[in-house]
Every structure is written in C-alpha cells, then in structure tokens.
Structure 1
C-alpha cells in the first residue's frame, strides 16, 4: 500500500471516530435525565405536560372561568386515563349552583348537557368525553360558555375564553404525538 492511500484511510478512520464520539456524547447529553415537566402559556390557556419519561402521564390544557374579574371555576382538557386516544373535558364550577339540572357547555350555538359527577370543597365537577366533532367545534369556535343553574332557578352563562385555545390545542396534539411515538421512545 502506498503512503498516499494509507494517509487517506487514516484520515477517514479519524473522521469516522470523531463522528461516532460526537454521536455518543450527544446521546449521553440528551439522555441525562433532565427532561422536566413543561408548562406553556397560550394567552388564556395553559398547557402542562409531564416529563417524557412519565409514560402514563399526559398533557392537560386548562383555563380559568372568570366573570366580572372574579375567578369562578376551571376547565381542563386532557386524555382519558382508561383510553389515551380519547379526550375528556373536566369542568369545576362554584358550589353555588343547583346540582340536579347539571350544567351545559355551549360551543357556538350548540349546547351539551352534562351531569355533575361530584362536589368537592373547591366546587362541583362534571366530566364528559369529547369526540372529534366536539374538538373540531372547539378549534373553530368564536365563543364558548358554561351554563349553570343559580340557586334561584335562573340560568346563568359563564364565559370560557377561546383566546389561545387553538394554538394550545395544536401544541398539545403535537406534544402528545411526540410522547407516544415509538421513534421518540427509541431515542429517549
């Protein structure tokens, strides 16, 4: 073998060695366990995602129900624990509501009636499964509200902000797809 060929092979081997060392160092840095839970804010909506290592956790969108400057409740959207492909909305409303009529979620002109599942010291809670149609309606809604029955029997609609919802929902879908991806799991 001549000296020129030997020098080219040596340079090639050194380049490959540096490349492999870079991959190993990069992978070690990437997998240093510092992948914490993340919280992002999209105007009136907050997206909370657990650390990627938490395979049973899921991202949750949340917003506060505010009327005339007073915090009245909270709306949270996430995946159901029993089936990660289904989304659920959990609504926490003040204790000053009549329980038997339940409450309604008004998306645009459509209202869905939902029974309360329980009442806690923080308020009364209702949950419903959201199908793709409801998710699409929420993405394009210009107004969303929850209708409750006051103690005197009259219906009151409390506004739920849609500012930032579309961006937050898109970020949640992207984060959940990445967290559930076999390719991502291979490299994490």
Structure 2
C-alpha cells in the first residue's frame, strides 16, 4: 500500500473513531434499514407467487370466473350455459354470484318466448319446485334473480339432477334440464377464493 493510501485510511479511521456513540448508533440503524429494504424487495421478487390476474376454471359442466385478487369489491361467479343438444342453441344461462351487500344470488336467463305471469320454476333433485317471478326481459332473454339462502345452497350441493321449468306461449310447461356435475367442486373453489380475498396477509402484500 502506498504512503498516500495509508495516510488516507489513517485519517478516515481517526475520523470514524472520533464520532460520538450516538452518531454511530444512528448510522448503524440506517444501515440495517437499508440492507433490510433491499433484501425485502429482492425476496419479494424471487418468492412472489403466480401473477394476480383474472382466472377462469372449468369444473366439469360448471365454470368459475374470478377477477384479480386486488380488484376492489371483486367476487367470483359460478356459471353454466344450457344448450339444446341437437341444434346447439342456448336455452338458458345460470350464474351464481355475490351482490355488493355480500348476499348470494342466482341469475337465470331464459329465452324471450316464455309466459311471464307463471314465473320460473327451479327443480333440484327431489325437492319441491321453487317458483320465482321474472325481474326483467332484455334482448338477451328474460331474467329471474333468485336469492340464495342456506337452504337453497344445501339443495344445490346435494342435488344429482336439476332443471328449470318455464311456461311456453301455448301455456304448456317445458323443463330445461341442467347438469350438477362439478358444481360442488366449483363452489368449493369459490369459497377458497373468497377466503383469499379476506386474508389480511394478502391485503398486507397487495
């Protein structure tokens, strides 16, 4: 080491050695925060999980569509489209989702060619047919909004077969069967996503 370099290091050592203890402690704390912050950002990038993006999952005959976890007031929805097998025409759409007040509802949309006054019937397994009134009709079809309570949730979970009863223009009833295959798994995934959204850990790192 040259004499000049040695002199510089000697002066630096003397300067640090003459620092008051309080200043030393302050510098040490700042150094710890700096190192910790850098390590945190590196660790977060390395250990981060899958990207937080909207997802769609298929559970046999049911679909689960979920917005990104960071989406404010976001909620998943479970859905199934009911088709006429031979012509491939969609006969009904069923969606289960949560309203802004966190209540669970089922949206059932059927073709426009139905009588409105008799309402719509929901048949689940051996349960008595539940009858509801239509809320509105648009170019997409006629919509019934069904409140989903614990009893209806239980019926949906245990039902092996299901159908929608509508009244045709001639007054005769028609049943539009829909599948319950995969519903239990779709609803389980729905609840799991809801739990993630409520997680304090997720909110902390979002």
TM-score bin (small chain):
0.7 to 0.9
- Are 1:47 and 2:73 matched, yes or no? no
Query: For 2:35 and 2:162, how far apart are their aligned partners in 1?
Result: 56
Residue 128 of structure 1 deviates from its aligned partner by 1.1
Structure 2 match to 1:77: 96
Query: In the TM superposition, what whole-angstrom CA distance separates every residue of 1:115-145 from its partner, at most 9, and x where no partner exists?
Result: 1000010100000110111111111110111
In structure 2, the partner of 1:24 is 41
Q: Identify which of 194, 198, 202 aligns with 1:176.
A: 194
TM-score calculated relative to the size of structure 1: 0.82
Per-residue CA distance 1:88-116 (angstroms, 9 max, x = gap): 00001001110111101111122111110
Give the gaps of 5 or more residues in structure 2.
1-33
Corresponding residue of 1:126? 144
Does the 8 Å CA contact 1:48/1:60 hold for their aligned counterparts? yes
Give, in angstroms, the shift of residue 67 of structure 1.
3.1
Which residue of the other structure, out of 158, 182, 191, is the alignment partner of 1:140? Answer: 158
Higher-Rg structure is: 2
Contact 1:66 1:159 in 2 (8 A): no
Q: As a proportion of its length, which structure holds more helix? A: 2
1:103-118 equivalence runs, <5 A: 103-110=120-127, 111-118=129-136
TM-score (norm 2): 0.75
CA contact (8 A) 1:117 1:127 kept: yes
- Root-mean-square deviation (CA, aligned residues, Å) is 2.4
Whether 1:67 and 2:97 are equivalent positions in the alignment is no
Give the gaps of 5 or more residues in structure 1: 1-16
CA deviations over 1:128-186 (Å, ceiling 9, x no partner): 11011111111111011110001110111101111111111100110111112223212
Per-residue deviation, 1:46: 0.7
